[in-house]
Structure 1
């Protein structure tokens, strides 16, 4: 059996898919260790899993959107985070001696260290932005190339012109399907696995006693977006759903937004057990974050209100695939939001398209397929070692 070192950003949308893949590898008899912020990882992986700590660096989400937001993401978080984690990741690789390093796409230090140390590594693409940037992000390629060159130089890698730590030359796992990527060109050695879902040790309780099985159910979540980026979106959504009270019950995930009063047909919770909730839902309203692929895995149509560039990329894929409707987070009126929710609930085409994507996800294999690809990469490494 092989040894894998997983490295990911300390953010739930990036960690949850990695956790699912790691669990599948362990179930298959492999050994998995983690490198990252231990205070975040420990509740997710349990007390017995090896964690190589990086220390703590706070992530302040940039206030800008579009290209300005993308630049702020790299300059304010990804580049400093890479600098902060390079030495701890290097120490973890030297100490643990993995057969394969598994790097979430934005955990750039993992790819840099693996390349520098000559350790085979795989990229896990948890989002859509790097694979299919929206066309309105003029200058995306140049901006990212410049920042990539910065972190490559930071790591002391001399072949920087041919090396991109966002995409492993050995294996790229994209947690999506052809229905969403369309005709976008993909990196070499890229495998589409569909959504990856696994057990979540930190799943919170939920007030199931308030659940009305006689009504349809809509989840509303904006993840951890901060106040000024959300505006009064929850209030407008509540107003949009209030007239549907007799037939629709909504669940509002309030994490990251200011509290507000909701109508009687709303269950409000700071956090929810997402994978227990999704099979019971009829539609999802979100900021086009990590919940999108989770919802599509269950064939749920979506209303997506993206803010940041990475969310716009996902939202466009959902809309282009016919699985949902894109609205404006800050500008959509209650009537417009109500019309969008009505459409995804009542018009069969949206559910049909979401179901088609769910079928593609299932056929792609999800966490099982991702783990098998990683195990195969490790086997190829072992074969090379034996042949020497």
Structure 2
């Protein structure tokens, strides 16, 4: 079969689709990736053909502040999410759709696989099913379609425990209509109308889940809030396969196996200021003879860390999680979805501190599942980090909950699930 992978040009969006593309290639299918130039090598090294976007979709969003310097002035939460949806994901729809349809003429795929915020798929989904390939959305974040308790997407509200709380959540949701949901819908439908596409009546969050022929949620049901009914498109597949990279830095040989290992990361998007989490964590754990601190900067040089690097810490731009994660005792993260799922699939408990993008929602699920502590901050102080890390290390409940989730991930044959779903999607 022929598969076309179309991905938003950010690592958190690319990584899940690269993992799926790799599985398909290994099974002998033909795969073409339509992504930014910046990610060409990652696909071609995995045996996936690559075609580069042009124009706006070709931006490398790891450099998002170069394209949108005004983003630094926005507060985490609805204001930042509204900006991102309009400027990063909605404005590019015409270019995405035009280049997607052109590529399909050159490469008549049986299935198109997009990340959940590749909204250029919406006009394609307007077509009758017999006149288009199957369209699959792959989650790069939590399951964000409407919840039973009416909690809005974004603020990280745990499941309501009473009717009073349900009413309170509904009030919050209604209060965001004028300032958030209506501006997003207006922007989305104006852009769709500009290319002759039909308006979307649902919220953008519901539409990305309900409209495709299949929606792949790359986690386990136990890491999602319970729902009375799931959207019919949703299928859980467990944790997607990690990178094929297995090389560790030379210093990895010097790690004392008797010491606890703390892995610290701010991912590859929200790592513009390593003083938010990496720096305070290094300060918090400096001088600890019982710990080894591993820092991955997501491509930033170590000199970008605005704190001294203590003797018990090692810093590198990237680490192969498949190799290192089984030896980690606590993950300290700002809440990247792929990283959190990778840790939990290995039974690693988490301290999470992140509020931008979707991170408050991911952090809330870490706390709700009992697998870690949500510091509810973008920039926690060293004392808070030290206290939280020690609590996770010393309180068995966190690691036990993480190990329980590990067994749930292990129950999935993820590669087989992906192949079965994508080769039979209607």
TM over 0.5: yes
Q: Does residue 242 of structure 1 match 2:282?
A: no
SS at match of 2:121: helix
CA distance in 1, matches of 2:418, 2:248: 27
How much does 1:278 deviate? Answer: 0.9
Aligned partners of 1:21 and 1:368 also within 8 Å:
no
For 2:168, the equivalent position in structure 1 comes to none
Aligned partners of 1:231 and 1:330 also within 8 Å:
no
Q: Does residue 21 of structure 1 match 2:61?
A: no
C-alpha deviations, 1:207-259, integer Å up to 9, x for none?
3233222211010001135577654533321121124x221101011234723
C-alpha deviations, 1:188-220, integer Å up to 9, x for none?
221111211144359774532332222110100
Aligned partners of 1:5 and 1:34 also within 8 Å:
yes
Aligned partners of 1:217 and 1:283 also within 8 Å:
yes
Which of 132, 140, 144 in structure 2 is aligned with 1:130?
Answer: 144
CA distance in 1, matches of 2:358, 2:247: 25
TM-score in terms of structure 1 length:
0.87
Which of 95, 105, 117 in structure 1 is aligned with 2:106?
Answer: 95
For the structure 1 residues 229 and 209, does the alpha-carbon distance in structure 2 shift closer, same or farther, using more than 3 Å as the test?
A: closer
How much does 1:154 deviate? Answer: 4.0
CA distance in 2, matches of 1:235, 1:288: 16
1:146-295 aligned at under 5 Å gives the runs: 146-158=186-198, 160-161=200-201, 166-167=208-209, 168-184=211-227, 186-200=230-244, 205=249, 207-225=251-269, 231-243=275-287, 245-255=288-298, 256=300, 258-259=304-305, 260-289=307-336, 290-295=338-343
For 2:345, the equivalent position in structure 1 comes to 297
For 1:315, the equivalent position in structure 2 comes to 363
CA distance in 2, matches of 1:143, 1:163: 11
Q: Does residue 78 of structure 1 match 2:89?
A: yes
Q: Does residue 57 of structure 1 match 2:59?
A: yes
CA distance in 1, matches of 2:90, 2:354: 24
CA distance in 1, matches of 2:415, 2:15: 11
TM-score in terms of structure 2 length:
0.80
State which drifts further: 49-58 or 109-118: 109-118
How much does 1:149 deviate? Answer: 2.4
CA distance in 2, matches of 1:8, 1:232: 28
CA RMSD, 1 decimal? 2.7
CA distance in 2, matches of 1:151, 1:309: 22
How much does 1:43 deviate? Answer: 2.9
